[in-house]
Amino acid sequence: MPVKETYWEPHIELMSRKEMQFLQLKRMKHVLKYVYDRVPFYKKRFDEGKVKPSDLRRLEDLRKFPFTTKDDLRQHGVPYGILAVPRARLINFQMSSGTTGRATIYPYTRRDIELWANVMARQLVCCGVRPGDIMVNCYGYHLFTGGPGTHLGAQRLGVAVIPWGAQRTEALVEALRERRATVIAGTPSFLYHVTEVMKGVDPERDFDLRVALCGAEPWTPAMRARLNERFALRSRGGGARDYYGTSEMIGPGAGSECFVEQGIHFWTDHFYLEVVDRETGEPLPPGEEGELVFTHLSREAAPLIRFRQGDVTKVLDDGCECGRVFPRIAAIKGRADDMIIYKGAKFYPSQIEAVLLKFPEAAQEYQIVVDKTGATPLVTVRVETDRADEGLEDRVRSAFLNELLVRPEVEFVKQGDLPRFEGKAKRVVVKQ
């Protein structure tokens, strides 16, 4: 373990696996009884599935319990339909970004907010943020969890936050310079956009940035390399780090990369982790890719049991140099619903991005158009570039073939022609 690494809660983060399992089991028994006694939706669900909270003796027994889906939440009316406390105990609401339909609202008690600040402080430390840092927070504020969650954690840790949101990019470059910011937080697509407008800036001379907290959407190793280089993060011993969470879990605050940058440590003392086969629902062993499912172990307002998050990943459960007990998951490939099936090949938008980032002459902005109006679907990748030479289309299409086993059409458009996004980038357009 590196001597220099520090931890927010070493008594938890450096526990043995056995101690962690003991803690999880205690919390899991509690939460199953808690929702069964308080939330009519769960009582009905467990009764229908013929399971009782007392059927859980070992952690593995959780698989006997039914899943919760986003549709369940919509049907039972979040936030109030799944509430485990009186409404008067709520002190906050946040919203999902609505990537898969109507946005849903999630409630927090005072204890939930305490938990959020704490897991976020843990996550920031894990990413390499330290008290005394100055952070520009480019996650959106309002109902989206990204801005407020990052803000809470930074303040808990003792970091000065500049609450910027995802806007006014040129002024932001000035703020980074003038305030000597050391940390920048934002969606990777927005941060990339920042690097596009900072013409004439020498990041080693003009900036003090060390860590970039990148999350809320899938991103790639090539994107990491670009952000590291353009913000000169490595020259100060830091880097762009993967930063995960969902509004259903708590917002950002479910886990992050450490300095090793090999997968996201998942805070399994609060969010019990399963990766399941999407078709059969059976839990999968480490190394096998499937859908992420989590169970709240310590939330108060509306804990979720076996919630099917839809994100595609796998557990990389083989310990980590940083010493943390928490298992790691691989970078999220995308949501299972985002998978594109084209001529029998299956791929995610993040794989398209990984290919495009190999071409410095193509900008990072792209859009995937899935046209279903003809007899067979047609997938076209629209890519911004001002430097399309004759052979570029062929080179890009061959690279797609190598990576995706299929060759989508490629269309080049002028730089600046594709939409820019203030929050999460929406890469796929479906024509029905």
Residue closer to ligand DLL by CB (options 21, 97) is: 97
Contact stretch for ligand DLL (CB under 6 A) within 120-128, 162-170, 240-248, 266-274: 240-248
Q: How far apart are CA 113 and CA 136, in angstroms?
A: 21
* 3-state DSSP assignment of residue 83: coil
Residue 255 interacts with ligand DLL (CB under 6 A)? no
Residue closer to ligand DLL by CB (options 51, 249) is: 249
Residue closer to ligand DLL by CB (options 238, 251) is: 251
Residue 349 interacts with ligand DLL (CB under 6 A)? no
Chain positions 318 to 337 lying near ligand DLL, rule: CB under 6 A, are 332, 335
Residue 155 interacts with ligand DLL (CB under 6 A)? no
Contact stretch for ligand DLL (CB under 6 A) within 4-12, 62-70, 237-245, 272-280: 237-245
List 109, 169, 246, 367, residue binding ligand DLL (CB under 6 A)? 246
Q: How far is the CB of 256 from ligand DLL (least distance, A)?
A: 8
CB 53 within 8 Å of CB 326:
no
Chain positions 174 to 203 lying near ligand DLL, rule: CB under 6 A, are none
Chain positions 206 to 225 lying near ligand DLL, rule: CB under 6 A, are 215-218
List 21, 69, 92, 97, residue binding ligand DLL (CB under 6 A)? 97
CB 361 within 8 Å of CB 392:
yes
List 169, 247, 295, 351, residue binding ligand DLL (CB under 6 A)? 247
Residue closer to ligand DLL by CB (options 214, 320) is: 214
Q: How far is CA 384 from CA 360, 387, 410, in A?
A: 11, 9, 11
223: left (phi over 0), alpha (psi -120 to 50) or beta: alpha
Among residues 176, 174, 149, 173, the alpha carbon closest in space to that of 162 is found at: 176
Q: How far is CA 181 from CA 103, 134, 161, 184, 236, in A?
A: 33, 5, 9, 7, 13
CB 46 within 8 Å of CB 66:
yes
Q: How far is the CB of 299 from ligand DLL (least distance, A)?
A: 15
Tell me the one-letter amino acid at 238: G
Among residues 154, 163, 166, the alpha carbon closest in space to that of 129 is found at: 154
Q: How far is the CB of 335 from ligand DLL (least distance, A)?
A: 5
Residue closer to ligand DLL by CB (options 51, 250) is: 250
CB 150 within 8 Å of CB 196:
no
DSSP 212: E
Q: How far is the CB of 383 from ligand DLL (least distance, A)?
A: 21
Residue closer to ligand DLL by CB (options 238, 255) is: 255
CB 301 within 8 Å of CB 63:
no
Point out which residues pair with 312 in neighbouring strands: 291, 334
Residue closer to ligand DLL by CB (options 309, 351) is: 309
Residue 252 interacts with ligand DLL (CB under 6 A)? yes
Residue closer to ligand DLL by CB (options 408, 423) is: 423
List 34, 65, 108, 139, residue binding ligand DLL (CB under 6 A)? 139
Tokens standing for 178?
Answer: 């003038």
Beta strands in 96-223 (DSSP E): 105-109, 134-137, 160-163, 183-186, 211-215
Among residues 9, 272, 212, the alpha carbon closest in space to that of 120 is found at: 9
Residue closer to ligand DLL by CB (options 241, 407) is: 241
Contact stretch for ligand DLL (CB under 6 A) within 56-64, 138-146, 273-281, 402-410: 138-146
CB atoms < 10 A from the CB of 182, how many? 22
344: left (phi over 0), alpha (psi -120 to 50) or beta: left
Q: What is the binding site for ligand DLL (CB under 6 A)?
A: 96-97, 139, 145-146, 215-218, 242-247, 251-252, 309, 311, 332, 335
